[in-house]
Amino acid sequence: MWNEFKQFAMKGNVIDLAVGVIIGGAFGKIVTSLVNDVIMPLISLLIGGVGFDFTKLKVGTLKYGLFLQSVLDFFIIAFCIFLFVKFINRFKKKEEPVKEVVKVDRSEELLAEIRDILKEDKDFLRKNETS
């Protein structure tokens, strides 16, 4: 059972999905911080200094430091994920390319033999014509 789970977890699709979910969550924090800490305070200043947090009506304050922290967190998470995937790929078994076995129909084999015989006869005839 453990080997089956390991094979499942090491498939490219599962790892790609996990990376996508983690990166998406981290990027979602950037967007949330941009809206809450940068855009909304600027809008609140433009409409008269009233914040949009209606539980605590106050003058909006620009929290660009929190936004920059979210961006930095995103890059740290993305770099850690990059290292993790690189580490996993190092231990993945290198799969040998699968050689395709082409099944040739019997009629195609016969046609190929006839072609080769005709080609030999043509070469034989050319040699005899010149002598």
Q: What are the pLDDT digits (tens) for 98-126?
A: 677 777 788 888 888 888 888 887 766 66
Distance, in Å, from the CA atom of 73 to the CA atom of 80, rounded to the nearest integer, reads 11
Q: What are the pLDDT digits (tens) for 9-30?
A: 666 677 788 888 999 999 999 9
Supply the pTM of this predicted model: 0.53
| Burial degree of 117 (CB within 10 A; 0-12, 13-18, 19+) | exposed
Listed in sequence order, the DSSP H helices in 2-105 are 2-10, 12-33, 40-46, 64-91
